[in-house]
Amino acid sequence: MSFLDVVASFSPSSAIGREQALRGLDRAKVSSARERRQPLRLLWLLVGPGVLVMLGENDGPSMISYATTGATYGVGFFAPFILVTFLMAFVVQEMTVRVGVATRRGHAELIMERFGPFWGWFAIGDLVFGNLLTLVTEFIAIEAGALYFGVPQWVSGVIGAVVVVASFALRRYATWERALMALAIGNLLFVPAAMMAHPDGAKLAAAFATWGPLPDFNGAFVTLLLSTVGATVTPWMIFFQQSAVVDKGLSAADLPQSRGDTAIGAIVAAVAGIATLVVAASLFDAHVDVSQLGGGADFATALQPLIGAPAASLFALGIIEAGLLAAMTISTSSSYALAEVFHAGHSLNVDFSEGKLFFAVAIVSTLIAAAIPLIPGAPLVAITIAVNVIATLLMAPALLLLLLISSDKDVMGSLVNTWRANVAGGVCVVAISGVGAFYGLVTVFPDILPK
């Protein structure tokens, strides 16, 4: 009897057996590649959580946020700033990987165990609230991108919801991960769109060399600065990648490849984000009023006479892909967190009968999020920017808890943070907290900034 036959022999009620058998099959492939000294195959087998978390964060609101920034300020300060935000994201997610490998616990479960119910429920409430808001914006992006092709909002919303829900029917982590990675390639649609926009290479190089021209320091700049940070570093990323590391069965031996996975994801996501900014900078150069643009469809329509129909179509398709991929990963992070703390089945390898809570959270949140953007007159761009800002404000406590856990030798053992990791993580905490606090200050006292 083959291993697959053994897996198939488990009854639906034997969720633990099925889950462990499927994970064991995946781990057997990893062991074989390691024994045969096949480094590229080993990397291919272990890549996944890092790529998905980074490209999942390059979601609909993030790409629209980058586009809004490019259309507002052109190519300048924000191009290199995007790189810095993804460097912060790598620092955070590398700690997340080590925590997952060291503890074999999801982030929600670990916070509950380590810090008690108050902080556990605070973190989960923070996550679920932020995730639901973000899911709404993913469907805003899907529907906005589809509008460019003449697809009615309700049709694209229904199709998007069906695709997201159907992804959970794969009932196997490895298959689900590979399906999403295939979809994630679509994030690179913004790169050929940027090339078709014929950007000024000298201007782009000067932006990276000088971080200029620097925009005027005012409320609009601060909002887009926060939005750019919120487009790169958010709480759901920690919860998703740590749980995915556990679901994939990664061990300490897999850390080099897992770091590479996260680095690859950060690099590709940064390239796609900068490409989106470069595309939209065409609107800045043409003096288009960005306040008149309502979402992905409006951006693509405004771009069409400037960069051509093929490039504008790639932009709209990229927005749709970004929303779909993020909806799948973000809804899964909520499922992992709630199922973990209730000690219910929390793996993509479990059957529906044993993972009722896990799958129900993802499905119900998806359906709610798909319906909200259909409300007439909703300010789509304002909602999208606001969600990224809220994500930045919620990130500081999540990041602080992660830093405390990864610095605890009793929890982490030999994988505990080095002093360099603590310094890097501490800088991220201070930077994100400082930006969030400053935004709160200017919100309460708007007159302190020039108009």
**Residue 198: inside a domain:** yes
Number of structural domains in the chain: 1
CATH number at residue 173: 1.20.1740.10
In a domain, 233, yes or no: yes
* Residue 18 covered by a domain: no
Per-residue pLDDT of the chain in tens (451 residues, 90 and over written 9): 344 444 444 444 444 577 788 888 888 898 999 999 999 999 999 999 999 999 999 988 889 889 999 999 989 899 999 999 999 999 999 999 999 999 999 998 899 988 888 888 888 888 888 888 889 889 988 988 999 999 998 899 999 999 999 999 887 899 999 999 999 999 999 999 999 999 888 889 999 998 888 888 777 787 788 778 877 888 899 999 999 999 999 999 999 999 999 999 999 999 999 999 999 999 998 888 887 776 667 889 999 999 999 999 999 999 999 999 999 999 999 999 999 988 888 888 888 888 899 999 999 999 999 988 887 776 666 666 666 666 666 777 888 899 999 999 999 999 999 999 899 888 888 887 777 777 666 666 667 766 6
Is 222 in contact with 439 (CB distance < 8 Å)? Answer: yes
Q: What is the pLDDT of residue 391?
A: 67
Question: For residue 30, is it within any domain?
Answer: no
In sequence order, what DSSP letters do the residues of 270-289 get, joined into one string? HHHHHHHHHHHHHHHHTT--
Q: Does residue 26 lie within any of the structural domains?
A: no
For residue 305, tell me if it sits in a domain. yes
Residue 20 CB burial class (10 angstroms; 0-12, 13-18, ≥19): middle
Residue 47 has what pLDDT? 93
What local confidence, expressed as pLDDT, does residue 189 receive?
A: 95
In terms of Cβ atoms closer than 10 Å to its own Cβ (0-12, 13-18, 19+), residue 212 is exposed
365 inside domain: yes
pLDDT at residue 161, rounded to an integer: 95
* Rounded Cα–Cα distance for residues 351 and 8 (Å): 12
* Residue 265 is assigned to a structural domain of this protein: yes
Structural tokens at position 395: 């990130």
Q: Specify the DSSP class assigned to residue 334.
A: H
Distance separating alpha carbons of residues 315 and 191, to the nearest angstrom: 9
Distance CA 436, CA 47 (A): 32
Could you tell me the sign of the dihedral formed by the alpha carbons of 290, 295, 301, 306, in that order?
positive
Parent domain of 282 = 47-448
The pLDDT of residue 100: 94
- C-alpha 267/C-alpha 53 separation (Å) is 12
